[in-house]
Amino acid sequence: MQSDVPTGVNPATPRMPAPGGPVARLAGVWRDNVARPVRAVRAAYLPLLLVYFAYGALGIIDVARDMWVKESLSLSPADLAGIGVWLSLPWTIKMVFGQLVDSVPLFGSQRRAYVLIGASLVAFGLLTLAASAGGRLATLRPDQAFVLGALLIVLGAVIQDVVADAMSSEVVARTDETGEPRPDSDIRAELGMVQVLGRLALGIGILSVAGLSGWLAQHLTREQVFLCGLVIPLISAVGSLAGPAETARPQPLDWRILGGGLGFGAFVVSVALGGVPYAQEVVFVGSMAIVLTLLHLVTRDIDPKTRRAIFFASVIIFAFRATPGVGDGYFWWSLDVLKFDEAFYGVLRQTGAVLAIAAMWLFSKQLTEYSVTTVLFWIAVAGTILSLPNIGLFYGLADWTQANFGFGARTIAIVDAATSSPFAQLSMIPLLTLIAYYAPEGRRATWFALMASLMNLALVAGQLQTKYLNQIFTVGRGNYAELGDLLITATVIGFVVPVAVILMFRKRV
C-alpha cells in the first residue's frame, strides 16, 4: 500500500507549513508592522527620542500646577490669558534658537550642549515652582515665581525641541559605507521612520504620566510634585550624553534670520497686546510675510529644481494643515442635546491618544515606504469619511441606530473617536518627513524652526476660516439650527482643498 507521506519525510516529524501559509503571513505582518518600529531603533536616534519623550512627560506636573494656581495664586483668567501670550513667544521665535543651534557651538558642541542647556532651564523652572509652592522663595511673590518658572520651562523645552528636530534629519545618512549616494527611496523611508519613532516617543511620554499626574497631585504636596518632575529633564540630559558623536558643522551666523526672528516675535506680541483692530488677521498676514522671507533666505543657495520642489511641498503642507474646524458649537450641542459629560469626553480623549500610538506603530511601514502625497491623500479621504458620523448624529443617526441595533449616541461617538482620532497624528508623519527630506545641510535647525512656524500659521489660517464659518452659520448656546450646515460646509472644505492641492502638485515633490 502506498504511503501518503512524501518520500524522505519521517511520519513522526511535524510537517512545516508551506511558504505563504497562515503562519508565514502572520510572521510577515509581525515583522513589517508590529516589530518594525522596534527593529528600526538605532543608537544614533536615542538623544532625539528621549527629548521628545521628556517633552511629552512634562505633563507630570500639569494637575499639581493647575491646582496650585487655583489654590494659592491671585491670577485671574484674564491674567493667565495674558501670561499665555508671553509663554507662547519662545515658540513664536523658534527660528532664533534654530539659528543659534546651527551657527554658535558651545564648548565645541552644537547639539549636546544645547540639549543640556534646555534640560537645565527646565530643571531651574521646576525648582522655582517648588521653592515658591513650599514657601521657600522670599524674593518673589508666588504669582511672579509662577511666571518665571513657567517661562524657564518653556524656554528649555523650545531649545531641546529645536535640537531634536535638527537631529531627526542629521541621523539619516545620505551616503553608504563606500561614500556612494544612497537610493532616494531608502533615505525617505528612514527619515519617515525617524519621524514615526519621534511621534511615538512623544505619545508614550504623554500617556506615561496621564494618570500619574493626577495621582501625584492627590497624594503629594505641590512642592513634592514639582521636585518629582526633575526626573524629566534628567532623562533628556542622559540621552544627549549617551548618544554618538556629533556630525553637524557650524555655519556662519545669518543676522538677517536672527534679527528677523526677533522682529517676528516683537511684532506678534505687540499686535496681540496692543488692541489692534483685526489683530488676528494682521498677525497672520504679517507673520506669513516674515516667515516666507526667512524661508527664502534659508533656501537661496539651493539649486532651482530643489527650490521648486520645496515650494510645492510647502504648499501641500500648508493646504493640508489650513483646513477649518467646526468650533465649539458642536461640543456645546453634544453636552446640551446628547447629554455627553466631562467624564465621557475624558474617555474619548484617552481612547484617541492610545489609538493614535497604536496606529502609528502598526502603520509604520505604510507611513515610511509609501509616497508622502499618497499617504496624505488617503488620510484626507479617510478623515472625511470618518467625520460623517458626527454629521449623522446631528441629523438623528443615534435614534435610528438605537431603534434598529440597540446602541445610541455614546457608542457612535466612541467608535468614531477610536477610528478618526489617530489621523491627526498620522498626518504629521508624512508632513515631517517632507520637511526632514528637504532640510538644507548646515541649516537644519533653522529650517525646521521656520517650517514649524509655517505649519503653525497654517493652523491659524484654519482657525480664521473656522471663525468666518461660524459668523456665516450662527451657532450659540441653545441655538443649534444652523449647526448641520456648518458641519457639512467645514467637512467639504476640509476635503476639497487638500485633495485638490495634492492632486495638482503630487508629482513635483
User: Is 23 contained in some domain?
Assistant: no
What is the C-alpha to C-alpha distance for residues 219 and 240, in angstroms, rounded to an integer? 32
Both 263 and 293 in one domain: the answer is no
Are 486 and 290 contacting, i.e. CB atoms less than 8 angstroms apart? no
User: Is 28 contained in some domain?
Assistant: no
**Of the candidates 411, 406, 418, which has an alpha carbon nearest to the alpha carbon of residue 392?**
411
Buried b (16+ CB within 10 A) or exposed e, 125-136: bbbbbbbbbeee
Cell numbers 507630570: residue: 60
Please report, in tens digits, the pLDDT of each residue of the chain (509 residues total).
333 333 333 444 444 444 555 555 555 555 555 677 778 888 888 889 999 999 989 988 888 888 888 888 887 766 776 677 677 778 877 888 888 888 888 887 888 899 999 999 999 999 999 999 998 888 889 999 999 999 999 999 999 998 998 888 888 888 888 888 888 888 888 888 888 888 888 888 888 887 788 788 888 899 999 999 999 999 999 988 876 666 667 777 778 888 888 887 788 778 767 777 877 788 888 888 888 888 888 888 778 887 888 788 888 888 888 888 887 788 778 878 888 775 676 566 667 667 777 777 777 777 767 777 888 888 888 888 878 888 888 888 888 888 888 878 888 887 776 555 556 666 777 777 878 888 777 777 888 888 888 887 887 788 788 888 888 888 877 788 888 999 999 999 989 999 999 998 887 76
Both 320 and 420 in one domain: the answer is yes
Both 262 and 289 in one domain: the answer is no
Are 43 and 171 contacting, i.e. CB atoms less than 8 angstroms apart? no
Both 390 and 501 in one domain: the answer is yes
Look up the domain containing 415 and give its range: 285-509
Both 261 and 292 in one domain: the answer is no
What is the C-alpha to C-alpha distance for residues 376 and 313, in angstroms, rounded to an integer? 12
Question: Who contacts 238 (Cβ-Cβ below 8 Å, separation ≥6)?
Answer: 50
What single letter denotes the amino acid at residue 265? G
Residue 324's SS3 state is coil
Both 319 and 247 in one domain: the answer is no
- pLDDT value of position 303: 81
User: Is 15 contained in some domain?
Assistant: no
User: Is 457 contained in some domain?
Assistant: yes
Both 163 and 293 in one domain: the answer is no
Residues 498/440/188/43 CA torsion (nearest 10 deg) = -130
Three-state secondary structure of 212-279: HHHHHHHHCCHHHHHHHCCHHHHHHHHHHHHCCCCCCCCCCCCHHHHHHHHHHHHHHHHHHHCCCCCH
> How far, CA to CA in Å, does 325 sit from each of 227, 285, 328, 332, 487?
39, 20, 9, 14, 8
- What is the total count of domains within the chain? 2
Cell numbers 511621534: residue: 199
User: Is 168 contained in some domain?
Assistant: yes
DSSP per position, 395-416? TTHHHHHHHHHS--HHHHHHHH
- pLDDT value of position 52: 92
Both 336 and 241 in one domain: the answer is no
* Grid cell digits, residue 370: 509609501
Of the three residues 275, 306, 323, the one that is the final residue of a domain is: 275
User: Is 396 contained in some domain?
Assistant: yes
The enclosing domain of 319 has a CATH number of 1.20.1250.20
* 175 bridge partner residues: 181
Q: What's the angle, vertex CA 422, arms to CA 35 and CA 203, rounded to 5? A: 65
The DSSP letter of residue 105 is -
- pLDDT value of position 156: 94
* 181 bridge partner residues: 175
* Grid cell digits, residue 9: 519525510
> How far, CA to CA in Å, does 147 sit from each of 386, 488, 496?
41, 42, 43
Residue 53's SS3 state is helix
Of the three residues 275, 306, 325, the one that is the final residue of a domain is: 275
Both 89 and 199 in one domain: the answer is yes
Residues 43/44/45/49 CA torsion (nearest 10 deg) = 80
Burial-class residue 445 by CB neighbours within 10 Å (0-12, 13-18, 19+): buried
The DSSP letter of residue 30 is I
What single letter denotes the amino acid at residue 282? V
- pLDDT value of position 309: 81
Question: In this structure, how many other beta carbons lie within 10 angstroms of the beta carbon of residue 256?
Answer: 11
Of the three residues 244, 275, 306, the one that is the final residue of a domain is: 275
Both 289 and 357 in one domain: the answer is yes
Three-state secondary structure of 153-202: HHHHHHHHHHHHHHHHHHCCCCECCCCCECCHHHHHHHHHHHHHHHHHHH
Question: Who contacts 264 (Cβ-Cβ below 8 Å, separation ≥6)?
Answer: 92, 93, 95, 287, 290, 291, 294, 453
Both 52 and 163 in one domain: the answer is yes
**Of the candidates 238, 242, 53, which has an alpha carbon nearest to the alpha carbon of residue 157?**
53
User: Is 5 contained in some domain?
Assistant: no
Are 291 and 453 contacting, i.e. CB atoms less than 8 angstroms apart? yes
Find the distance separating the first CA and the last CA of the chain, reported in whole Å: 67
* 476 bridge partner residues: 479
Both 298 and 267 in one domain: the answer is no
* Grid cell digits, residue 138: 522670599
User: Is 25 contained in some domain?
Assistant: no
